[in-house]
Amino acid sequence: MTEKMFEAVVIGSGFGGAINACRLSRKWPGHVRVLERGKRYPLGSFPRSPYDFARNIWNVPHENRSNFQEIADEEQHGIYDVRSFQNMDVVQGAGLGGTSLIYANVFLLPPDQVFAHPRWPETCRREHLGYYYDVAKSVLGSRPIPGYDSDDPETKPSDPRRRVLRTELFREVARKNNRESRLCDLNVFFGNDFDNPLPIGEQDENRFGALQTSCVYCGECMIGCNYQSKNTVDLNYLYVAEHVHKAEILTECLVEAIVPVDGDGQDDPAADGAHGYRVYHWDMSEIPLKDQNPEDRPYQDLPSTLTKRVIVSAGSLGTTELLMRCRDYLRSLPNISQRLGEYFSGNGDFLSFALRTEKRVGSTYGPVITQYTDYNLFKNPDPKRAFIVEDAAFPNIMAWMIEGIRPGFSRTVTILRALKDFARRFAGGRQAGRVGSSLRLVMGDAASDRTAILLNMGVDESDGRFKLGPNNRIRLDWPYRNSIALYRAIISSGAAFARRVWAGLFLPLLTWTWPFRRNITVHPLGGCILASEASEGVTNSERSRFGEVFGYKGLYVADGALVPSAVGSNPSATIAALSEMVAEGITEEKPTADL
Ligand SMILES: Cc1cc2nc3c(=O)[nH]c(=O)nc-3n(C[C@H](O)[C@H](O)[C@H](O)COP(=O)(O)OP(=O)(O)OC[C@H]3O[C@@H](n4cnc5c(N)ncnc54)[C@H](O)[C@@H]3O)c2cc1C
Ligand code: SF4
């Protein structure tokens, strides 16, 4: 039987992958295959118990991710893939829907000056991207939380269940500091009618047919929404790709190699892709990878897919690593530009905490981010110190952990008193016990409720560089000192925030303290940046070949790796817009919000 030649294989299913899976399968129904390393997460399947949560990490021994010997050999295909490099840790997602499964739903366009950076090609100016931002925004159903008015910081929702104290606090601080706070557009489902939100907890099909629940304000967005209230890409772009355009989606498939083929469909590393490619992957859906003898098994023995085109959407790190491995180790794509791996950015991410605030923050309630306060990113841009601060929520399970580990003699005394009271009641048959009141005393003022998390992002120098290290995995050189002015400005604004809310303690990210200087980002960008020629970037910025890897026909990148520099705002909107442009170049069809 002749081997099926697919029109396209999409590697990864985050923003870039989902968009391309949908657009390309619409053009070629039944002829597009998606290969995703993570699992599917249907309604209610995100882990919550301590047992399951502890295993909710990405750990494939072959990849040597874990520093801990005890779990290094334990294979887990969970959502959190945390990669540690010198001076920078990176958090990304693994699962059908990519990092959208654990992201904070914010859809925010960067300010104009970002596109004026010399590294942004002419075809990617703001005026060119505008249309694609609009399309993605419509598909993703972005809107602010209901009941508040972005222009009037005094507004409060009439339904008390829609009040988010954290939003109100951050807006109040912004006003006092003469800063502008705007409500974020959120990719969260509050019903299909924007003006009349569906009551909290009611379910309805979204306009693509997937079942969603009107957000219940549980604050668990970053551990996966068990109500399908987040508009993650598996509920729109991927949903339509699979259910309407018959894309074939394979999960727990980790792509290992991409090799061009000759006119007879045979692997030919010297070819330029004109005849297509073969994509090799590990199938881990039934047998763990560690039991498949990965060290000794050549990639040529793995399951493979023959395809005319390949869209690599494995995220900034995943895409850069896969292409680098193919260029430098497997030598299957030897002609990729020497710029591969350059211009990594952590998007200026920085995390800090204001503890023991005077007023309640209510940090466990509501969608995980609701507003941003501008510090010279949008207004009065400062090239070295342009950033925003967003309010972050954390899940209740973490709040219970904080309460559990909070030290204090008074608490021990209170617990003993509660136990004594309980024993008395049990032994003496007392009817009016004080157990309820004791619980109130044990919890006190709940430290977790008076903790504000400040999530900053801004325009860093975007000058990180990936190289292929031992085991053919990337390592990152992040010259943090070049972005130190930004980090200092962020820390100083955080300290000012803490003073405004009369916090007992202000803590910047602990791993940042000298001499460690380790930052953490959830917004990795760059590695395969767009440019007009191969001497400047890895992927073509010409509109008809947008995102195509220089030197290879039909091999595209569509994800955060394309982004030439930090955007300062949350980047998924920009990744989505650029990915729509990649798909348009391939299909020659202008995208609309009708999938
Ligand atoms: C906690 C958190 C909160 C965030 N909040 C926001 C926010 O509010 N707003 C915002 O704009 N951004 C946010 N982000 C960032 C945003 O989620 C990412 O920028 C975005 O998802 C990147 O999209 P992508 O297509 O580049 O890659 P991803 O979404 O990361 O998708 C890459 C996919 O490729 C798969 N993959 C990787 N390697 C392989 C391989 N070899 N074979 C097969 N599959 C592979 C991965 O499993 C993954 O599914 C957040 C991120 C995190 C972690
Ligand atoms: S607050 Fe809860 S219900 Fe709403 S989107 Fe986030 S996780 Fe889902």
pLDDT for 428: 63
Measured distance CA(548)–CA(51) in Å, rounded: 43
**Distance between CA 13 and CA 21 in Å, rounded?**
8
pLDDT tens digits for range 507-521: 999 899 888 899 999
Give the H/E segment covering residue 338. Answer: none
From the CA of 525, which ligand is nearest? Answer: 1
Q: Does residue 304's CB lie within 6 angstroms of at least one atom of ligand 1?
A: no
- Asked if residue 431 has pLDDT above 60, the reply is no
141 Cβ below 6 A of ligand 2: no
**C-beta of residue 273 within 8 angstroms of C-beta of residue 545:** no
| C-beta of 225 in contact with ligand 2 (< 6 A) | yes
Tell me the C-alpha distance between 374 and 183, whole Å.
11
| Residue 369, ligand 1, Cβ within 6 A | yes
Q: Which ligand is nearest to the CA of 40?
A: 1
| pLDDT band (50, 70, 90) for residue 429 | low
Q: Is 36 in the pocket of ligand 1 (CB under 6 A)?
A: yes
Query: Which atom, in ligand 2's list, is nearest to the CA of 105?
Result: 5
The DSSP bridge pattern shows strands 304-312 and 5-11 to be parallel
Query: If you write DSSP's letter for every residue of 315-326 in order, what string do you get?
Result: HHHHHHHHHHII
Kindly tell me if the per-residue pLDDT of 112 is higher than 80. yes
Alpha-carbon Rg for the chain in angstroms? 25
Cα 220 to middle of ligand 2, angstroms: 6
Residue nearest to atom 50 of ligand 1 (CA): 103
311 touches ligand 1 (CB under 6 Å): no
CA of 181 to the centre of ligand 1 (A): 26
CATH 3.40.640.10 is held by the domain 5-398+451-587: no
Query: Is pLDDT of 2 > 60?
Result: yes
Mean per-residue pLDDT, 221-237: 98
The two tokens of residue 197 are 């939100």
273 lines ligand 2 (CB under 6 A): no
Higher pLDDT, 443 or 316: 316
DSSP element (H, E) containing 72: helix 69-72
Ligand nearest to the CA of 33: 1
Q: What is the model's pLDDT at position 141?
A: 97
By the 8 A CB rule, do 376 and 456 touch? Answer: no
User: Would you kindly state where each structural domain of the chain is located, as residue ranges?
Assistant: 5-398+451-587, 399-448
What pLDDT band is residue 419 in, cutting at 50, 70 and 90? confident
